[in-house]
Amino acid sequence: MPVPWSRPRLLALLALTGAGATACGADLILPADPARLVVAGSGSGSGTVATTVAPAPALNCTITSGAADADSCSVLYAVGTSVTLAADPAEGSRFTGWSGACSGTAACSLSLGDSARVVAAFEESRFSLLVVGAGTGSGAVRSAAGLFPVIDCTITEGLTGDSGCNASFLLSGNQLTLSATPDGRNTFAGWGGDCSGTSDCSLVLDRDHVVSAAFVHRR
């Protein structure tokens, strides 16, 4: 059975024999080298990049904390293949855009005339929670156990302390609960901002929040 000749082997044979671009009176057509598509990651977030329009083999690249998996993020295609890539951020991350052979944030479409490298940037999505004091009294606002970082905010005569009153959380859709505890001869008068009433304050971690806690002196 004949052994197929690759492009490098044919070129080496022509160099050794001094043959030109023709053989036996006909043009010699050399097979094109395949085009390698490489996806790299950047940023602090995680996600996947996958082919949505492409012949086999499919690419399904995992990016973790900005680093692309070496085994799943490189594929060979025939020259001229059209490929479309889509980015899907993991929970707690957002896709911020392409660089390299693509740009923008829409789907990345390529016609592989040669090898190409595409960089997908994912960033951690974070939101801030700020607790501020109100009223003239004193007390503390604390977050329930289970989430980090912890809110442990001291309010003295309506003024918040220097630490424990703000934090940055990964966007997750989880719920955080704040409770208010008055000091000594003080009363908790209620929440303001993104909470209301006097019961525990429950917030969904999906955006920035500002909450005020009002304490007043008991007469």
User: 44-97: per-residue pLDDT in tens?
Assistant: 999 999 999 878 899 999 999 999 998 999 999 999 999 999 999 998 889 999
Instruction: Give the architecture (CATH level 2) of 126-217.
Output: Sandwich (2.60)
Q: Where in the chain is the domain with CATH 2.60.40?
A: 33-124, 126-217
Higher confidence at residue 32 or residue 51?
51
- pLDDT over 80 (residue 29): no
Higher confidence at residue 19 or residue 126?
126
155, 139 in Cβ contact below 8 A? Answer: yes
Residue with tokens 């690249």: 61
Task: Quickly state the pLDDT bin for 127 (edges 50, 70, 90).
Answer: confident
pTM of the entire structure? 0.61
Give the count of beta carbons closer than 10 Å to the beta carbon of residue 142.
Answer: 17
Rounded (5°) CA angle 123-125-127: 145
What number does CATH give the domain 33-124? 2.60.40
Instruction: Quote the pLDDT of residue 32.
Output: 65
Instruction: Quote the pLDDT of residue 86.
Output: 97
